[in-house]
C-alpha cells in the first residue's frame, strides 16, 4: 500500500531499522535513532543497488517520488542512477570552484607579468567594478551571452562606450582561457559582435601648440603645488614619455648619470610596447632628475607618494594641469603629439621620433636593431629638443 504523508510522520522507531515501502522500489527507512531516510532499491546490470534521496521531512513524500521517477527514467535508457548522481555532484563542485571570477583571477595572474603596473591596475579595477558583480559568481561554463551583455550594457549606459568594448574583449579573453583549460566549451562574447554601440569619431587628446609652449613651460616653472609634480611635468616635456612610464620610474633604471652618455633604461614590463626602451638624457633632464632625487630622498622611486602603489597617482599630473589653467587645453599624453609635430616639422627623421615615442616595430629583430642604431641620433634630436624648450620658455620672460 502506498505511503501517505500522515503515515510518514507517524512512523515509529524500533530497536532495529524498519523499511516502509511506497512502491516502485521506494521505501522509508526508519532508524532506531528516529531518523527517517528515503531510499530506492533497484537493479542495474544484474546487481542489487540502493540510492539515497535524503531525509524526511526535509525531502517530502512528493519529492521522493519525483526522485524515484527520475531514477527510473535513467534506468530505462541504460544509465545507473547512482553513478549519475555522483557525476552531478562532481559537476556542481567543479562549477562552484570555477566561477567567472575564479577563472578571471587565474587569467589575470597569468597575464599580469607582461603588463605595466598601471594597465594591470586598471584591468583589475574594471573587472571588480563592472563584471564581477553581474556574472562573477556564475559558473563560467553556464554564462550565456545575454548575461554578459547586461554587464557590458551597464557600462555603455554610463557613456563609456570605448570602455564597454574593452571590457567585452577582456571578458572574451577570460572565456577563451577557460576553454583552453577545459572549464568551458565556448566563448559567449563572440555572440555579441555588433551588439554594442559604436564609439563615434576618435577624440584626440588636447595638446599644446608650438606658439603656446613658452607660456606652458612658464606655468610649470611657477606651479605652486608639489615641486616633484612640476619636475615630473618637465620630465614629460623633455622626454615625452607616457604618464605611467614617468610615475613608476626607479633610480636603478638610470645609467651613467654623471658620465658623457647618461640614459634611462626602462624595462620591458613597464612599457606599453612590452619592449625595453632607452631614453638618452640631455643636460636639462639630468638636472631635473637630480632635483627629483633631492625630493625623493631614500625612496627607490623617482616620484614616491603615500599611495597603495607607493608613487604619485595617475591623476596627479593631469590635475596639476587643471590647476595651471589647462583644463581642456592640454593633457599629459597630448604633449607627445606636440613634440612629434614640432620635430617632424623641423625635418627630423621620422623613425627617430617614432622610436622615442616607443612606437616599436612589431618585428622584434627590427625593433632591437632600431634601438642600437638610432640611440646616438636620438640623443642629438633630444638635445635639440631640450634647447628648443628652454628657448621657448625664455621668450616669455
Whether 204 is catalytic: no
Better-predicted residue by pLDDT, 115 or 14: 14
Q: Which among 36, 65, 336, 379 is annotated as catalytic?
A: 336
Q: Which among 274, 350, 369, 376 is annotated as catalytic?
A: 369
Whether 265 is catalytic: no
CA pair distance 277, 288, nearest whole angstrom: 19
- Residues 151-161 have pLDDT tens digits of 999 988 887 88
- Residues 160-197 have pLDDT tens digits of 888 888 899 999 999 999 999 888 899 999 998 877 76
What's the confidence (pLDDT) of residue 365? 44
Dmax (CA) for the chain in angstroms is 107
Whether 326 is catalytic: no
The pTM assigned to this predicted structure is 0.54
Q: What percent of the chain has pLDDT over 70?
A: 91
- pLDDT of 261 over the 90 cut: yes
The CATH number of 5-81 is 3.30.160.390
Q: For domain 100-192, which CATH number applies: 3.40.50.150, 3.40.50.1000, 1.10.150.130, 3.40.50.1820? A: 1.10.150.130
* Cβ contacts of 251 within 8 Å, gap of 6 or more: 293, 296, 300, 301, 302
- pLDDT of 396 over the 50 cut: no
Mean pLDDT of the chain: 87
Q: How many CB atoms lie within 10 A of CB 50?
A: 12
Every domain of the chain with CATH number 3.30.160.390 lies at 5-81
Q: Which among 165, 272, 293, 329 is annotated as catalytic?
A: 272
Every domain of the chain with CATH number 1.10.150.130 lies at 100-192
Assigned CATH class of 210-395: mainly alpha
Q: Which among 242, 247, 277, 379 is annotated as catalytic?
A: 242
- Residues 38-90 have pLDDT tens digits of 999 999 998 999 999 999 999 999 999 999 999 999 999 999 999 888 877 77
CA pair distance 126, 152, nearest whole angstrom: 11
Whether 238 is catalytic: no
What's the confidence (pLDDT) of residue 372? 53
- pLDDT of 375 over the 60 cut: yes
Q: Which among 205, 274, 359, 366 is annotated as catalytic?
A: 359
277-280 and 263-266 as β-strands: parallel, antiparallel, unpaired? antiparallel
Amino acid at each position: 500500500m502506498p505511503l501517505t504523508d500522515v503515515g510518514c510522520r507517524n512512523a515509529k522507531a524500533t530497536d532495529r531499522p524498519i523499511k516502509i515501502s511506497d512502491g516502485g522500489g521506494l521505501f522509508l527507512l526508519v532508524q532506531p535513532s528516529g531518523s527517517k531516510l528515503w531510499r530506492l532499491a533497484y537493479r542495474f546490470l544484474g546487481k542489487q543497488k540502493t540510492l539515497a534521496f535524503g531525509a524526511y521531512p526535509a525531502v517530502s513524500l512528493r519529492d521522493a517520488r519525483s526522485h524515484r521517477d527520475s531514477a527510473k527514467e535513467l534506468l530505462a535508457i541504460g544509465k545507473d542512477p547512482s553513478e549519475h548522481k555522483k557525476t552531478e555532484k562532481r559537476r556542481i563542485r567543479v562549477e562552484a570552484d570555477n566561477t567567472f571570477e575564479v577563472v578571471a583571477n587565474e587569467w589575470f595572474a597569468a597575464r599580469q607579468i607582461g603588463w605595466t603596473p598601471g594597465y594591470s591596475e586598471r584591468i583589475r579595477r574594471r573587472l571588480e567594478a563592472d563584471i564581477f558583480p553581474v556574472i562573477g559568481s556564475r559558473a563560467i561554463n553556464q554564462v550565456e551571452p545575454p548575461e554578459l551583455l547586461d554587464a557590458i550594457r551597464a557600462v555603455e549606459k554610463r557613456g563609456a562606450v570605448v570602455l564597454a568594448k574593452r571590457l567585452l574583449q577582456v571578458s572574451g579573453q577570460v572565456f577563451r582561457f577557460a576553454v583552453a583549460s577545459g572549464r568551458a566549451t565556448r566563448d559567449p562574447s563572440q555572440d555579441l559582435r555588433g551588439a554594442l554601440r559604436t564609439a563615434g569619431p576618435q577624440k584626440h587628446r588636447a595638446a599644446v601648440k608650438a606658439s603656446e609652449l613658452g607660456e606652458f613651460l612658464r606655468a610649470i616653472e611657477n606651479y605652486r603645488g608639489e615641486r616633484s609634480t612640476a619636475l615630473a611635468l618637465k620630465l614629460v616635456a623633455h622626454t615625452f614619455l607616457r604618464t605611467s612610464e614617468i610615475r613608476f620610474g626607479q633610480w636603478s633604471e638610470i645609467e651613467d648619470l654623471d658620465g658623457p652618455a647618461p640614459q634611462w633604461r626602462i624595462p620591458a614590463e613597464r612599457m606599453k610596447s612590452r619592449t625595453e626602451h632607452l631614453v638618452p638624457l640631455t643636460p636639462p633632464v639630468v638636472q631635473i632628475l637630480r632635483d627629483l632625487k633631492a625630493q625623493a630622498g631614500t625612496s627607490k622611486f623617482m616620484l614616491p607618494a603615500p599611495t597603495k602603489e607607493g608613487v604619485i597617482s595617475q591623476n596627479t599630473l593631469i590635475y596639476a594641469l587643471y590647476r595651471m589653467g589647462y583644463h581642456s587645453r592640454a593633457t599629459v599624453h597630448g604633449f607627445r603629439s606636440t613634440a612629434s609635430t614640432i620635430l617632424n616639422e623641423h625635418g627630423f627623421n621620422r623613425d627617430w621620433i617614432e622610436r622615442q615615442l616607443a612606437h616599436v616595430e612589431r618585428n622584434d629583430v627590427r625593433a632591437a636593431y632600431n634601438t642600437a642604431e638610432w640611440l646616438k641620433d636620438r640623443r642629438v634630436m633630444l638635445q635639440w629638443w631640450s634647447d628648443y624648450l628652454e628657448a621657448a620658455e625664455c621668450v616669455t620672460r
